[in-house]
Amino acid sequence: MLKLEKVTTGYDAKAILNDISFTLEKGDFLGVIGPNGSGKTTLLRVMSKILPPWKGKVTLEGRRLDEIKYMELAKRMAVVPQRMPEPFFSYSVRDFILLGRTPYLRRFQLLESEEDLRVVQEVMEETDTLGLEERNLEDLSGGERQRTIIAQALAQEPEILLLDEPTSHLDIGHQVEILDLVRKLNREKKVMVIMLLHDLNLASEYCDRLILLKEGSIFKTGTPEEVLTYEIIEEVYNALVIVHKNPLSSKPHILLVPKELRHEKLS
Ligand code: ADP
């Protein structure tokens, strides 16, 4: 469905991603991990038509992204940014979510349709934002804001959700809340999820499949069990770790080893 074939791209004359290929199907849940500067954000940009591929191609149902108009793409794919853009702070939650219906506006249509209102109501229920309806975005907590951003993306009724580190500014309670919501959308609505994540333990717990980037190339791809071994993590992140299992989920759980305890791990 969404396919990258030998994609190379970058900025100015400098290639950042090299020869990236993978395919995703409806209902897949992919996590993209890798150290700072490894190319995660660049990958998200080339998958969402923000950045064109220099070589290779990105296709959605066999059509190259540059053949798909932005408004059509926005009905199929939504990008959830890390933070809410500041110019929107004075908006109410409801108006901000309604903006997600923009791709569905017909020419010269100024007011939202019955269908727009029905969809907005539905996504507010799904994201538990109904109670926030009249609040201004600037008055929301981090978790409430993140739910509102996701609600706006869902108002586009996308088949594909691309999330840029949706939990990076949240405490652990809200991290779990947001990722549980994304998982529910993936399982119940079969929305394809592609999520950039910093936190390896969250990636392990929530993603069915991972792509680990190193210096712009895919270093390893597979299930969390296949990708998150201590050998691979130590090589890519240049840090000593111990990999255990979460006793409840059996997913890999990564523990850091401080420098002064290095000899204890190595002995
Ligand atoms: P990550 O998201 O994994 O931290 P990025 O894709 O943001 O990685 O960055 C990969 C590389 O591309 C870095 O070396 C970064 O400096 C460079 N880069 C990112 N954005 C731009 C840009 N707009 N112009 C030039 N270089 C950029």
Tokens of 135: 């609040």
Which of ligand 1's atoms lies nearest the C-alpha of 10? Answer: 12
Predicted pLDDT of residue 89: 76
> Ligand 1 centre from 108 Cα, in Å?
39
Helix (H) / strand (E) containing 262: helix 262-266
Ligand 1 probe mutation, 11, 54, 163, 212, most atoms within 8 A of CB: 11
Predicted pLDDT of residue 168: 87
Give 203-260 pLDDT, tens digit per residue: 999 999 999 999 999 999 999 999 999 999 999 999 999 999 999 999 999 999 988 8
Q: What is the DSSP letter of 167?
A: T
- Name the pTM for this structure: 0.93
> Ligand 1 centre from 267 Cα, in Å?
38
> Ligand 1 centre from 9 Cα, in Å?
11
Predicted pLDDT of residue 52: 97
- Does the pLDDT at position 189 exceed 70? yes
Which of ligand 1's atoms lies nearest the C-alpha of 196? Answer: 2
> Ligand 1 centre from 103 Cα, in Å?
29
Rounded CA-CA distance 184/100 in Å is: 20
Which of ligand 1's atoms lies nearest the C-alpha of 216? Answer: 10
Rounded CA-CA distance 2/187 in Å is: 18
Q: Do 190 and 25 touch, CB atoms closer than 8 A? A: no
Place of tokens 């019955």: 114
